[in-house]
Amino acid sequence: MRSALPKVLHPLAGRPLIGHVLAALAPLAPARTVVVVGPEGAAVEQAVAPLPTATQAERLGTAHAVLQAREVLAGFTGTVLVLYGDTPLVPTETLARLVAAREASTNPAAVVLGFRPRNPTGYGRLVTGPDGLDAIVEEKDASPEQKALTLCNSGVMALDGAILFSLLDQVGNANAKGEYYLTDVVALARARGRRVDVIESCPEDLLGVNDRADLAAAEAVVQTRLRRAAMAAGVTLTAPETVFLSWDTQLGPDVSIGPFVTFGPGVTLEAGVTVKGFCHFENCTVATGAIVGPYARLRPGARVAENAHIGNFVEIKNATVEAGAKVNHLTYIGDARVGAKANVGAGTITCNYDGFSKYHTDIGAGAFIGSNTALVAPVRIGDGAMIGAGSTITADVPDGALALTRAPQDTRPGWVAKFVARLRPARKS
């Protein structure tokens, strides 16, 4: 990845790659889960906490990695799923099929998840026969005939926990890479007279992330899935390919979303919300019937209530806009409350930061804030109060009062003609 960030912590739809893997696993309610990390895996350990981790001090191959889980899995005799933190798209349903195949009446020692990519180059090949899977051959060790096979190994397996570690103890490293391959357990299990099976999944589910291009490809897959799920649930996406959702985006029925809208993590839009184009949301909530955009930005802590209007080039941060209130254009509302049915004019800002601390602005119900107003927090504008356009408000305004600050207007009749007459000779010279 050419990154200081561990690969499995790179975000995909707003969640780390490994978070997707663990989320797919969670509905199966595993009795034990262990995450094997590298020698510099502190960040990964923190990300997966409180799950136990095991450290692979030397990267000696996949079988060696699984061996590091021996202590956590001591005494476990059920099915062991081996998953990969950089293969984030395997759905829960596929994992459930894998477990079911392992626990079938034929009692296979292992079940391998295979797929058929358009181009199998680089993948290990699955060599099958009448009695199931005969062997997994890495491409570097494959014969020309084996390289011609199209069924490939994803690396994902379900194994019999009762014999797993005894098999792993027999794995050697006499191969082109000098590594201990997990795939060797297939031949070892067959040598014990145990059956090994294969189930297949689509290549999209098994996309591995090895670089930034792979990450972008995985993002495209996830976004397509999220968009389809949203539309199936009753959400209108005018231009689906331009809307980017997070893994936890919550969209109610009859939400309508225009083009070029981005959702960061932690966003909930309730039923009937209308979002116009080019908006950005992150860690915020928008209630039923509200209208947002175009070109609006709702930052963390923004809470927009029922039937409120948030218009173009409006930014809301850590603030509540109550029912029916309107903040329609060119405005910043931060660390504030905008009361029900209040109207905030264009160019208004809440001056919430003095360089050291944040302060709160409270705008009462039904208040009217004139255009180009600066509200210097901490300050309260009372219910039904009015602020004259162009004002800088530094003190509380009582309910129903008018407040304004401005210099007196100086009007000079005929001044322009005299000014032009004075300057015209100078221009000719």
Average pLDDT, the chain: 96
Confidence of residue 254 (pLDDT cuts 50, 70, 90): very high
**78 CB contacts (<8 Å, ≥6 apart)?**
31, 161
Tens-place pLDDT, residues 9-33: 999 999 999 999 999 999 999 999 9
The H or E element spanning position 46 is: helix 42-48
Q: Tell me the longest C-alpha to C-alpha distance in the chain.
A: 109
The H or E element spanning position 415 is: helix 415-428
Q: Average pLDDT, stretch 50-65? A: 95
Contact 287, 269 (CB under 8 A): no
User: Would you state the structure tokens that stand for residue 379, as one six-digit string?
Assistant: 């300050």
Q: Which residue has the higher pLDDT, 80 or 177?
A: 80
Tens-place pLDDT, residues 145-161: 999 999 999 999 999 99
Contact 399, 382 (CB under 8 A): yes
pTM of the model: 0.92
Q: Give the per-residue pLDDT at 424.
A: 80
Confidence of residue 427 (pLDDT cuts 50, 70, 90): low
Give residue for tokens 């860690």: 283
Check the annotation: does 299 bind a ligand: yes
> Of 34-43, 245-254, 261-270, 303-312, which range is least confident?
34-43
User: Would you state the structure tokens that stand for residue 29, as one six-digit string?
Assistant: 């309610």
Round to whole Å and give the CA distance between 72 and 53. 9
Domains 7-206 and 216-403 share a fold: no
Nearest one of 267, 239, 268, 233 to 253, comparing CA atoms: 233
> Of 75-79, 133-137, 288-292, 341-345, which range is least confident?
133-137
Can you name the CATH fold of 216-403?
A: UDP N-Acetylglucosamine Acyltransferase; domain 1 (2.160.10)
Residue 426 has pLDDT above 80, yes or no: no
Catalytic residue among 20, 309, 329, 360: 329
Contact 309, 287 (CB under 8 A): no
Check the annotation: does 326 bind a ligand: no
Q: How many residues does the chain have?
A: 429
Residue 176 has pLDDT above 80, yes or no: no
Q: How many helices (H) and strands (E) does the chain have?
A: 9, 32
Round to whole Å and give the CA distance between 39 and 166. 25
Q: Average pLDDT, stretch 316-339? A: 98
Round to whole Å and give the CA distance between 323 and 365. 9
Q: Give the per-residue pLDDT at 197.
A: 97
Tens-place pLDDT, residues 406-417: 889 899 999 999
**345 CB contacts (<8 Å, ≥6 apart)?**
331, 368, 369, 370, 371, 372, 373, 389
Contact 304, 315 (CB under 8 A): no
Look up the CATH architecture of domain 7-206: Alpha-Beta Complex (3.90)
Confidence of residue 141 (pLDDT cuts 50, 70, 90): confident
Radius of gyration (C-alpha) of the chain in whole angstroms = 31
Check the annotation: does 84 bind a ligand: yes
- Which residue ranges make up each domain of the chain? 7-206, 216-403
SS3 286: strand
Residue 243 has pLDDT above 60, yes or no: yes
Query: Angle 320-324-330 (CA atoms, 0-180°, nearest 5)?
Result: 65
Q: Give the per-residue pLDDT at 138.
A: 85
Confidence of residue 256 (pLDDT cuts 50, 70, 90): very high
Strands 236-237 and 262-263: unpaired
Residue 43: how many other CB atoms lie within 10 Å? 15
Tens-place pLDDT, residues 181-198: 999 999 999 999 999 999
Known catalytic residue at 329: yes
Residue 177 has pLDDT above 90, yes or no: no
Nearest one of 417, 17, 2 to 209, comparing CA atoms: 17
Check the annotation: does 56 bind a ligand: yes
Round to whole Å and give the CA distance between 147 and 138. 9
Check the annotation: does 54 bind a ligand: no
Confidence of residue 429 (pLDDT cuts 50, 70, 90): low
Q: What percent of the chain has pLDDT over 90?
A: 93
- DSSP code per residue over 357-402: -B--EEE-TT-EE-TT-EEESSEEE-TT-EE-TT-EE-S-B-TT-E
Residue 336 has pLDDT above 60, yes or no: yes
User: Would you state the structure tokens that stand for residue 309, as one six-digit string?
Assistant: 């209007």
Residue 86 has pLDDT above 70, yes or no: yes
Check the annotation: does 332 bind a ligand: yes
Give residue for tokens 């090949």: 125
